[in-house]
Amino acid sequence: MIHRLRQFLALIFLIAGVHLPAVAQQMPARTFEGTVVDQQGQPIAGAMLWYRYASERPLFKPLEMETRADAQGRFVLEVPSVTESENLVASSRSILWAWAPGYALGFSERHWLDQETKRIELAPATDTSFVVVDVNGEPVTDVLVEPQNYRNWLGYDLVPNLAVTQLRRRTDKDGRVKFPSLLKEKLFRLRLTSVDFGIQTIRPGMQPSEPAERTITLRQVSRIEGRVVADHLAWCGGIKLHFSTEKPFAAGKTKRPPWPTEGKATAVTDKTGRFVVPVIAEGRVRIEHSILSNDVHARPLFPDARLVEGLATKLEIPMQRLVPIRGAIIAKETRMPMKGIKIHVYYGSYRQGTDVVSDANGEFAAWVLPGKVRFQPMNLSATKYSQLGAPKQNEVPEDVPEDEAFELPAIEVVPTEPLQGLLVDQDDKPVAEARVIAYYNNYLCSSATSDADGKFLLGKFPTQIDFKHATYRVVLDEHETRHMRDGDVQIEPTQTLKIQVRR
C-alpha cells in the first residue's frame, strides 16, 4: 500500500492537477433521410427538422444541425463526423425533431431507422396556453416563454436550441401566451425571461384530461452581491457562476403539480473576484461554476444561503486548495480491473465535482476539495457490468482530509445480462409507454420503457440476482407510479418476465 501511495504521489506531482482525458472515439458521418407527414399520412411541405450532438455537462454548448423538408415532405440531413469526447456525445440515439406551422412539435420514433418507410408523423396544432401573473395575480406582459424539456421515448429530453428559436413566444397584455406547437402532456419544463422577474423555469405537469390553459405565478425577486476570495488574487477573476433558486414546500401540504418556479442567473467575477446578480427569484440558492483552468489548484466552496425578496444578499465564496485522491474500479468476484470507465467524483457543495477515467489497471486519480467525497461510474452502460450494493456504494461519502493524499475504497461491479419482459393490465392487454424499474435492496438494477405491445427489455439485469428477489416499480405517467406485489410478477416458460398492472 505504501509503495502504491508513493507511486500515486509521484504521479500527482507530475500531472499537477491535470485531469485524465476521456478516451476519444470518432463518430462517423451519417445521413438521415425520410418524410414528414400528418396523422393521415399526407406529406407536410417545408417542415423543419433538427438534430443535436448533446453535451454530457449542462454548462457546455451542444452542436446542432437543421434542415427543411421539400414540397413532398422529404428531407435529407447530413450529420458530420465528430470526435466523441468527455463533453460532446451522440445525441438521443438518432432522434430527429420536426415541426411545421399548424402542427405540434414531434420527433422520430424509437425504431424509425429500422423501418422500410422512414416517416416522422406530426400531430395537429393544439390549444395549449399559459397565463403568466405575479404573486398578486396581476398579468405580466412581454415575458419570453420557451420550451426547455419535452417528453420523447427516451424521457424528458432537451429541445434543440434551433427549434426553441422557432417555437418561443411572448406574453400579451393579459399575460397570455399560446403554444399551438406544444402537446401539454409532453411538455416538462418551460423557461420564462422577464426584465423585472429575471429568468424562471417551471414544470407545468399537465395531463391530456386537464384544461388546455394553466396559470404560472412568477416568484418575487432578490439581488446578490458577492465576491470570491482566495490565497492568490489571480485565481478569483473570470469565474463564471451559475445560480439557481428554489422554493421549498412542505410535503403533503401543497398540491403538486404545478410546481413553483425556479430562479436562474449567471454572473462572471471581475479581476478582484466581485460579482453582481441584479435580478433572481427569491428562495434557497444553489451555485455552480464553469470549468476552471488546471493551473488553478483550488475550487470555490459555495455557502448555503437563502435569498429574501426585495433585499440584496451578500455572499463570500472562499477558494480552497485541492487535495489528491486515488481509487480503482474492479469486477467484484474476479477482481478484473475495469479499463476506460469514466467516473464522476462529487465533492464540495451542490453539483461540484470532476470526471476521471480508469487506466489499464482500473485505477484513477483526481483532485478534490477536502471533506465529503462520493464517486459514480458514468459509462457502465457501455459494458456488461453494473454496480450492486445495499446501500449503493457511491451513495456513502468518504471523508477526505486536508493536505493529505487519500485512497478511496475500490468500486466493485458485477456482471449483467438482458431480461425480456412483458407489461400487461388485469385483462392481459399490453400496457404501452410505461417505465419499468427493477430494484434490489433499494438499488436500481435496470429500467426500460414498454413498447406498443407491452414488451420491454431490462438490458442490464445483474446475474447474481434472482428476478423473484427484486422489486419492481411501474411509472405509468408523471402522476401515477405502481409498486408491484409478489403476485403481480412472474416468469413465463419463454423466460420472459411478466408484470401485471392491476387497476
Alpha helices for 339-468 (secondary structure H): none
Please give the pLDDT value at position 28. Answer: 61
Are 98 and 30 in a shared domain?
yes
Please give the pLDDT value at position 249. Answer: 55
Are 286 and 299 in a shared domain?
yes
Segment 23-38, tens digit of pLDDT: 444 556 778 899 999 9
Are 84 and 142 in a shared domain?
no
Are 338 and 398 in a shared domain?
yes
Q: Of the residues 288, 321, 354, which one is the last residue of a structural domain?
A: 321
What burial letters (b/e) apply to 321-336, b meaning 16+ CB within 10 Å? ebbbbbbbbbbbeeee
Where in the sequence is the domain holding 155, given as residue range(s)? Answer: 129-217
Give pTM, 2 decimals.
0.75
Q: What is the band of 390 on the pLDDT scale with cuts at 50, 70, 90?
A: very low
Q: What is the 3-state secondary structure (H, E, C) of 133-157?
A: ECCCCCECCCCEEEEEEEEECCEEE
Please give the pLDDT value at position 485. Answer: 73
Strands laid side by side in the 129-133 sheet? 176-178, 129-133, 213-217
> What integer is the mean pLDDT of 97-105?
97
Are 140 and 198 in a shared domain?
yes
Of 250 and 38, which is predicted with more confidence?
38
Segment 127-162, tens digit of pLDDT: 999 999 999 999 999 999 999 999 988 778 889 999
> What integer is the mean pLDDT of 232-240?
92
Q: Of the residues 75, 91, 121, which one is the last residue of a structural domain?
A: 121
The 8 Å CB, 24+ separation contacts for 448-456 are 448/421, 449/153, 450/421, 450/423, 451/110, 454/422, 454/423, 454/424, 454/429, 454/430, 455/420, 455/421, 455/422, 455/423, 455/430, 456/420, 456/421, 456/422, 456/423
Residue with the three cell numbers 488574487: 233
* CATH code for the domain in which residue 403 is found: 2.60.40.1120
Helix, strand, coil in percent for the chain, rounding step 5: 10, 50, 45
Please give the pLDDT value at position 465. Answer: 83
- 497 pLDDT more than 50: yes
* CATH code for the domain in which residue 294 is found: 2.60.40.10
Here the cell at position 336 is 478484473
Please give the pLDDT value at position 81. Answer: 66
- 395 pLDDT more than 80: no
Q: Of the residues 88, 121, 154, which one is the last residue of a structural domain?
A: 121
- 68 pLDDT more than 90: yes
Are 113 and 134 in a shared domain?
no
Compute the distance between CA of residue 253 and CA of residue 181 in angstroms, rounded to an integer. 34
Are 261 and 291 in a shared domain?
yes
* CATH code for the domain in which residue 207 is found: 2.60.40
Compute the distance between CA of residue 351 and CA of residue 491 in angstroms, rounded to an integer. 40
Compute the distance between CA of residue 366 and CA of residue 328 in angstroms, rounded to an integer. 11
Are 144 and 210 in a shared domain?
yes
Strands laid side by side in the 371-377 sheet? 353-357, 342-346, 371-377, 398-400
Here the cell at position 147 is 420550451
Structurally, the chain folds into a number of domains equal to 5
Distance between start and end Cα atoms, the chain: 58
Segment 436-484, tens digit of pLDDT: 888 887 777 888 899 999 999 988 888 888 887 888 888 887 667 777 7
* Residues in a beta bridge with 121: 37
Are 330 and 349 in a shared domain?
yes
Are 236 and 317 in a shared domain?
yes
What residues contact residue 215 under an 8 Å CB cut-off, 6+ apart? 130, 131, 132, 133
Please give the pLDDT value at position 471. Answer: 84
Cβ atoms within 10 A of the Cβ of 33, count?
10
Of 250 and 479, which is predicted with more confidence?
479
Please give the pLDDT value at position 278. Answer: 98
- 22 pLDDT more than 50: no
Backbone angles phi, psi at 124, to 5 degrees: -70, 165
> What integer is the mean pLDDT of 301-315?
93
Are 331 and 361 in a shared domain?
yes
Are 310 and 276 in a shared domain?
yes
* Residues in a beta bridge with 191: 146, 201
Residue with the three cell numbers 456482471: 415
Structural element, H or E, at residue 455: strand 455-462
> What integer is the mean pLDDT of 294-320?
91
- 258 pLDDT more than 60: yes
The upper half-sphere exposure of residue 444, i.e. CA atoms within 13 Å in the direction of its Cβ, equals: 11
